[in-house]
Amino acid sequence: MQAAAAVHRPHLLAPSPLRGRTRRPSTVRMALREDGPSVAIVGATGAVGQEFLRVIAARDFPYRSLRLLASERSAGKRIAFEDREYTVEDLAAPGVFEGIDIALFSAGGGVSRTHARTAVASGAVVVDNSSAFRMDPEVPLVIPEVNPEAMANVRLGKGAIVANPNCSTIICLMAVTPLHRQAKVLRMVVSTYQAASGAGAAAMEELKLQTQEVLAGKAPTCNIFSQQYAFNIFSHNAPILENGYNEEEMKLVKETRKIWNDKDVRVTATCIRVPTMRAHGESVNLQFEKPLDEDTAREILRAAPGLTISDDRASNRFPTPLEVSDKDEVSVGRIRQDLSQEDNRGLDIFVCGDQIRKGAALNAVQIAEMLLK
């Protein structure tokens, strides 16, 4: 039995079955084995925590032992995973990180700030999905397909923190980095179409509930968001900073610079929530230093890891959040020369990626896999 059964996953939006790993043969059960690391999952009952389990199972990520941690409120819950049953433990209990090799954190910035250093002191490598340490100059911020070199000094058995970038950054840079390597991005204008899942499982539930209510002519329940989300869009609910950008937008600006190790790249972003469940869309306008025609761009994207191309002009089929839901790959399409820039120095693209999968859990597990090589 897999964790899938325990995951909150409205059937309405999960048309595709759990994808198996496609790049390695899956005939041998590799997951639970003596030579694997001991793994802890912090925030095991959340949307991303549950996805960690699905991804570990799907990729046969090896583990010697598994410890599921969450807040005191969730402690005692039982979660079935790969033929065993686990009891969720209180992450604040003393000694929970003893003997842990890899701790996958996804329980919010506050939990990471309070508990990640404890795990590190126990010798664990923490892969942190929160924003707590992303801009810490001592902490690598990693998308394995983009900047694996940032992990050079991280070793299993030597406590460390590695940060998982924000979902919007991961999905954007999966498609933009291969183009950047070819023609150098000078400036990037991003507008996002973000799903409910970024605000957690309860937000997905609220979108579903609100939609039922609105269709029934009732006032929508607004607990997670302060306004109607069903049949509506709104500026991302992250706090607005003094410069007028919200925190979600500034993550795209700052994380791109850090991941590319390029202080000069100019990024602006407008982040908007749309009533979709678990995958983000992003409209990306690019300005390049060197010319890059769209055919070359398409070839580069076709060869890039972790990407699929969905760019069928004749039948008007391009990436959608629904089609990338539950998929590992980020989908890119609407690849076209930007008419507003000269000499093939601009491109417009549209990308979609599963926010919970590659935007969070998969990327973190891929980071953990790099530690095993």
CB distance 40 to 97 below 8 Å: yes
**C-alpha to C-alpha distance for 42 and 240, rounded to whole angstroms:** 28
CB distance 322 to 13 below 8 Å: yes
The residue within the footprint of its own copies, chosen from 77, 187, 257, 345 (CB under 8 A), is 187
Buried b (16+ CB within 10 A) or exposed e, 115-153: bbebbbebbbbbbbbbbbbbeeeebbbbbbbbbeebbee
Alpha-helical segments (H) within 216-372: 247-260, 294-303, 321-324, 362-371
**Residues 162 to 181: which contact its own copies by CB under 8 A?**
none
SS3 81: strand
**Residues 241 to 280: which contact its own copies by CB under 8 A?**
243-246, 253, 266-268, 270, 272, 274-277
**C-alpha to C-alpha distance for 191 and 284, rounded to whole angstroms:** 7
**Residue indicated by tokens 């990024």:** 267
CB distance 259 to 182 below 8 Å: no
**Residue indicated by tokens 């998929």:** 327
* 320 near its own copies, judged by CB under 8 A: yes
* 369 near its own copies, judged by CB under 8 A: no
* 237 near its own copies, judged by CB under 8 A: yes
The residue within the footprint of its own copies, chosen from 212, 290, 291, 372 (CB under 8 A), is 212
* 2 near its own copies, judged by CB under 8 A: no
* 224 near its own copies, judged by CB under 8 A: no
Residue type present at position 261: N
Return the half-sphere exposure (C-beta side, CA atoms, 13 A cut-off) of residue 115. 30
Least Å from the CB of residue 245 to its own copies: 6
**Residues 326 to 365: which contact its own copies by CB under 8 A?**
333-341, 346, 348, 350
User: Based on CB atoms, which residue is closest to its own copies, 162 or 267?
Assistant: 267
User: Based on CB atoms, which residue is closest to its own copies, 144 or 200?
Assistant: 200
Bridge partners (DSSP) of residue 194 are 273
* 108 near its own copies, judged by CB under 8 A: no
Active site residues: 167, 280
What residues make contact with its own copies under the rule CB under 8 A? 11-13, 187-189, 191, 193, 207-208, 211-212, 214-215, 217, 226-228, 231-235, 237, 239-240, 243-246, 253, 266-268, 270, 272, 274-277, 281, 283, 285, 294, 313-318, 320-322, 333-341, 346, 348, 350
